Chains A and B, each alone.
Chain A
């Protein structure tokens, strides 16, 4: 098994993600430079957090034109697993691999704190180790995490059960008070229709070791391992 972490100019969670995948989850992991264009040997591709191209124009707007993104699209079309975290989620939205767009946080702040997210769909390669309605404690760190989609897209995403994570309180209650950034329907993470591309604003790689305050992020990586082992 082999994982890859894409590195754009301005990625800054690439090493954290590499560390967790390679040393904690224990799967041989490579960095993939944004100018590379072959990804066929990997079992998971992660687009990490950060500020690719300084967030110039719009978050993720320039990274989506990197050569590696053509390869990511091909890889996803063939059913490969793609996980976009934070800026990685923004890149997936800009590239059209996921529906919707990110707006500036409603309160205009850069928000860096632990949040709770309720798992709405456990029937995915990324959440199968969790029970429906589980609540995870995972940090967010972003200025543009205010999820928006057209009425039609939002309806389809809801009907197809593509909403995977929603901001909630620690008991799993979903309301405006626990919505940190103004996202529609408290959306913190969505998956594509086919179920192999997940984007999420919270950072599971920052919550995968006890010493860092939460290990809840491990459920996501463990789910991926489950899925890949059963697929073989």
Chain B
């Protein structure tokens, strides 16, 4: 099974990298770009056929390792 975990900074957390990218894009003339938040995506393959069990496992690693719950949120997606 394949999966994708997206980790994003919480909305209340300042994202200096996203701000800088947004600023650069605007400077380059892409003035329709209004907001940029930088995050991380993890592409995962796992030995599990049961989708429910896979999701549980993925949520566990997302919470415990891949994200820092103080500053980040995550989304788990099974890739079909």
Residues of A near any B CB (own CB < 8 A): 57-58, 61, 65, 93-94, 99-101, 103-108, 146, 148-150, 182
B65 close to A103 (CB less than 8 A): no
Cα separation A108 to B16 with both chains bound (whole Å)? 7
Cα separation A108 to B15 with both chains bound (whole Å)? 10
Apart from A61-B65, A103-B71, what 4 extra A-B contacts exist at CB < 8 Å?
Answer: A103-B13, A105-B16, A106-B16, A108-B17
Contact residues, B39-80 vs A (CB, 8 A) = 65-66, 68, 70-71
For A108, what are the chain B residues with a Cβ–Cβ distance below 8 Å?
16-17, 20
A selection of 10 A-B contacts at a CB cut-off of 8 Å is A57-B65, A61-B65, A61-B68, A100-B70, A101-B70, A101-B71, A103-B14, A104-B17, A106-B14, A150-B70
Size class of the B contact interface (CB-based, 8 Å): 10 to 19
For B68, what are the chain A residues with a Cβ–Cβ distance below 8 Å?
58, 61, 94, 101
Cα separation A101 to B70 with both chains bound (whole Å)? 6
For B20, what are the chain A residues with a Cβ–Cβ distance below 8 Å?
108
For B16, what are the chain A residues with a Cβ–Cβ distance below 8 Å?
103-108, 146, 182
- Among residues of B, the one whose C-beta sits closest to the C-beta of A151 is B12
For A100, what are the chain B residues with a Cβ–Cβ distance below 8 Å?
70
A96 → chain B closest CB, angstroms: 9
For B70, what are the chain A residues with a Cβ–Cβ distance below 8 Å?
93, 99-101, 148-150
Cα separation A106 to B18 with both chains bound (whole Å)? 11
For B66, what are the chain A residues with a Cβ–Cβ distance below 8 Å?
57
A148 close to B13 (CB less than 8 A): yes
Cα separation A105 to B15 with both chains bound (whole Å)? 10
Could you say which of B14, B20, B66 has the most chain A C-beta atoms within 10 Å of its C-beta? B14
Cα separation A105 to B20 with both chains bound (whole Å)? 12
For A65, what are the chain B residues with a Cβ–Cβ distance below 8 Å?
65
A91 → chain B closest CB, angstroms: 12
B71 close to A182 (CB less than 8 A): no
Cα separation A108 to B19 with both chains bound (whole Å)? 10
- Among residues of B, the one whose C-beta sits closest to the C-beta of A58 is B68
The 9 closest A-B pairs by CB, nearest first: A101-B70, A101-B71, A104-B16, A106-B16, A101-B68, A108-B16, A58-B68, A148-B71, A108-B20
B58 → chain A closest CB, angstroms: 16
Cα separation A57 to B20 with both chains bound (whole Å)? 21
For A146, what are the chain B residues with a Cβ–Cβ distance below 8 Å?
14, 16
- Among residues of B, the one whose C-beta sits closest to the C-beta of A100 is B70
For B65, what are the chain A residues with a Cβ–Cβ distance below 8 Å?
57, 61, 65
For A150, what are the chain B residues with a Cβ–Cβ distance below 8 Å?
70
